[in-house]
Amino acid sequence: MPAVGTNRRVTVFGSVEVFGRGRLEVVGAGQSSACFASYLAALDARHTARAVEVYLVLDNGPCHTSKVSLAALDARKEWLHVIWLAKYSPQLNHKEHEWRILKRDTRGHLVADLRTFVDEIKAGLHRLGGTQCDIVDQVPQWFIEGHRVAPTGRPRGRPVGSKDSYQRSYTRKNLPAPT
C-alpha cells in the first residue's frame, strides 16, 4: 500500500482461515524474505497455540520464492503445506479480494503522518472480520521517522581522514586562454 507523502510502501503479509473465522496479518516496512520470515514466525506461534495443520496458498512473488524463504517453508513441512498458484493469477487467490477492499477503504492521502496510516491499515484489517484476529505491527520506528533503511549511528558523509585507494590527478581549473 502506498505510504503517506513518500515513495515508500507498507507491506502486509496475511492469511485467513477457510471459513473466515480467524486471520493472521503482519504489517511491516518491506517486502523481502526477512519480512516474510517474520510472518512465518507469527504463523509458527499460531500453529503452536492451535496444533493444526496449515495449508498456505502462495503466489510466485520474489519474497516467497527466494532461497531463504523456500528453506524456511521446507523447515515447516511437517505441518505447513504450501499450494503454489500459477503466475499472474490473482483471481485464484481469495486474499487478493481482501487486499482490494483494504486498499479501497484505507486512503493513504487523507492521513497526516505514516504512523496514522499504519494504524488505519490495522483498523481496516480488523474490519475485514474474523473471530480471532492476530495483527502484528512490525513497522520499525526508523521507518516511521522517514528513513529508508535502518540508521547505522555513524555521522552522514565521508569519514574524516579517509583516503582514496587510487591517486587522483590534479586538474587545474580556470586555465588562461591561449594567446
For the chain, the domains span: 11-144
What residue ranges of the chain have pLDDT lower than 70? 1-7, 20, 108-109, 164-168, 170, 172, 179
* Overall fold of domain 11-144: Nucleotidyltransferase; domain 5 (3.30.420)
Does residue 10 contact residue 115 with C-beta atoms inside 8 Å? no
With vertex at residue 115, the alpha carbon angle to CA 111 and CA 117, rounded to the nearest 5 degrees, is 40
Over residues 123-147, the pLDDT tens digits come to 888 888 878 888 889 898 988 887 7
pLDDT for 86: 86
- With beta carbons less than 8 A apart as the criterion, state whether 40 and 46 touch: no
Q: Are 50 and 41 in contact (CB under 8 A)?
A: no
Question: Which pTM does this prediction carry?
Answer: 0.76
Q: How far apart are the first and last CA of the chain?
A: 64
Q: Which of 46, 109, 108, 58 is nearest to 83 (CA)?
A: 58
